[in-house]
Amino acid sequence: MSEKNIKVYYKIFKLLENGQIDNNCLKSDFCYSNAVMSKIDIEILLNSANTTLLIQSIEKLKEKLHTINGVKDISDNTVLGQSEYKYIINSYGKQLGLTDSNLANAISNFFLEKEQANTFNEDGIIKITTKSTYKDSLNELKNFYIPLDNKQFVQLKEVVDFKIERNFEEIEKINGQIYKKVLANVDNNIINSTEVLNLLEEHINTIKNDGVNINFGGEKEKSEKIQKNKLKN
């Protein structure tokens, strides 16, 4: 079971335990969905091209939420995918006249699966392909020799800088922008969502000043929609 599903089932359990929905409700997918989604008191949406900064900002908000009495069910939707190694040509590589295209061609010809020839048998066409047994070895990649125009060779690690990136496993867009969420509920006998957001205001302003865009869902979004509708009427 995925982490996302565990969180959903936990929320259903808490709703059942608190008497906010009954077991019969779960027979309907529509009712099930709305029962879970309607009980989000605090929903903070964060957007930034800097994944590291985004994750750090989310952790700061969650840490602060954990210190506020009456806040519960604190979670986020930041499940990271596999690490990806990327390289950027350094000054030495540029001095040698190397380009991204040069490197990509040299690396793909050796490491990636490549069709070499076709042949035939009684079952039809057979494609002959080759690939390096070291295609998943970072050490082999770093020490791979890149050919130069002067017939010399240079190791890849000498002409590029490596960096590791991890992107999010799930991407959700709102108005064309990718946002990650911090979610929480409140015990209204102790504190309400507006009071919680007021306590978070200093943290939120700091995160905004760091370059992260922040919007709100949950009860804040609902109350703002209600106010807008009142003004329209």
11: in domain:
no
pLDDT of residue 140: 84
Specify whether 99 is located in the same domain as 153.
Answer: yes
Residue 205 is inside which H or E element, if any?
A: helix 193-209
Question: Is residue 185 within 8 Å of 39, Cβ to Cβ?
Answer: yes
Which of 166, 186, 217 terminates a domain? The answer is: 166
Specify whether 216 is located in the same domain as 162.
Answer: no
Task: Please tell me whether residue 185 adopts helix, strand or coil conformation.
Answer: strand
User: How does pLDDT run across 82-98, given as a tens digit for each residue?
Assistant: 667 788 999 999 999 99
**Which pLDDT tens digits describe the chain residue by residue (233 residues)?**
444 444 444 455 555 555 544 444 443 333 333 344 457 889 999 998 888 899 899 999 999 999 999 999 999 887 766 667 788 999 999 999 999 888 988 888 777 666 667 777 777 777 766 665 666 677 888 888 998 988 899 999 999 998 877 666 666 666 777 788 899 999 999 999 999 999 999 999 999 999 999 988 755 555 554 444 444 55
29: in domain:
no
pLDDT of residue 210: 94
pLDDT of residue 213: 92
pLDDT of residue 43: 92
Specify whether 111 is located in the same domain as 139.
Answer: yes
Residue 197 sits in which domain range? Answer: 40-79+170-232
Specify whether 155 is located in the same domain as 181.
Answer: no
Is this structure's pTM higher than 0.75?
A: no
Question: Is residue 11 within 8 Å of 35, Cβ to Cβ?
Answer: no
pLDDT of residue 89: 92
pLDDT of residue 167: 66
pLDDT of residue 157: 92
pLDDT of residue 24: 46
Specify whether 188 is located in the same domain as 119.
Answer: no
Task: Please tell me whether residue 192 adopts helix, strand or coil conformation.
Answer: coil
| Cα–Cα distance, 22 to 149 (Å, whole number) | 74
CATH of the domain at 97: 3.30.2090.10
pLDDT of residue 150: 87
pLDDT of residue 202: 94
Reading the block at residue 192, the tokens are 């309400």
CATH of the domain at 203: 3.30.70.1440
Strand pairing class (145-147; 180-186): unpaired
Specify whether 175 is located in the same domain as 140.
Answer: no
Which of 146, 166, 186 terminates a domain? The answer is: 166
| Cα–Cα distance, 8 to 37 (Å, whole number) | 9
